[in-house]
Amino acid sequence: MTMHFIRELEQLKNSMVDFCAQVEKRTQIATAAVIDRDGENAGKIIATAHEIDDFELAIEENCLKILALYQPVAVDLRFVVATVKISNTLERVGALAVNLAKKARSLTRQAPMTLPAEFAEMSARANAMLKDSIDAFVKLDPAPARKIELADDEVDHRKRQVKKIAEAAIVAAPETAPQWITIIAASRNLERIADLAVDIAAQIIYLVEGKIVRTSGESE
C-alpha cells in the first residue's frame, strides 16, 4: 500500500468517527426533546438537518475517490464498501432524528400530557442500540454487533405497549388524540432507528469477517 492510500483510509476513518458522533448526539437530543417537550433543542435539530446530508455526501465522495484511485482489495475494499453503506444508514438515522424533533415541537403546541414509562424505556433502548453499533464500528469489533439484534425485540415490544396505552387513552379521553397520535408516530421513528442500528451491526460483521448477515427486516 502506498502512503497516500494509507493516509486516505485514515482520513476516511476519522471522518466516519466524527459522523457517527454527530448522528448519535443528534438522536439523543431529539429523543430527549420529545420526552421533555423541549422545543428549543428540537428547533436546533430541525434547523441544522442539512449538516448530516452534507456529511454523508462528503464521505460517499471520498469513498468513490478511493475506489477509483487505489482499487483496494480484501479488508480494505470491505471497509470502503461498508463505510458507504453505514454512512447512508447514518444519514437515515439523522433524518429520523429530525422527524422526532418535529414531533417534539408539535407536542409543545399541544396540551400537556404524561408520557408512559414504556416510551422512555423504548427511547433509551433505541439510543443504546445506536451507540453500541457505533462503538462496534469504531473498535471494529463484531462481538457487540452480534448482540444488537437481540435488543431489537425489546424495542418492538415497547412500541406495541405504547400503542396499546395510547389507544386506551384516546378511548377514555378523545380530546387527547392529537398528543397520543404524535407519540405513536414518535415510537415508530424510534423503532426504525433500532432497525437501522441492526443494519449497521450487520455491516460491521461483514467488514471484519467478510460474512454477509441478513437482518430480520430482510426477505429470505
pLDDT in tens, 99-123: 999 999 999 999 889 999 999 999 9
Q: How far is residue 123's CA from residue 46's CA, in Å, rounded to a whole number?
A: 19
Over the range 128-143, which residues count as b (16 or more CB within 10 Å of their CB) and which as e?
A: bbbebbbebbeeeebe
* 174 DSSP 8-state letter: G
Domains of the chain, residue spans: 3-209
- In this prediction, residue 210 carries a pLDDT of 85
The Cα diameter of the chain in Å comes to 68
- In this prediction, residue 215 carries a pLDDT of 66
Alpha helices for 37-141 (secondary structure H): 39-47, 49-70, 74-108, 117-139
- In this prediction, residue 38 carries a pLDDT of 96
User: Which tens digits make up the pLDDT trace of 37-90?
Assistant: 999 999 999 999 999 999 999 999 999 999 999 999 999 999 999 999 999 999
Read off the pTM. 0.93
Class of domain 3-209: mainly alpha
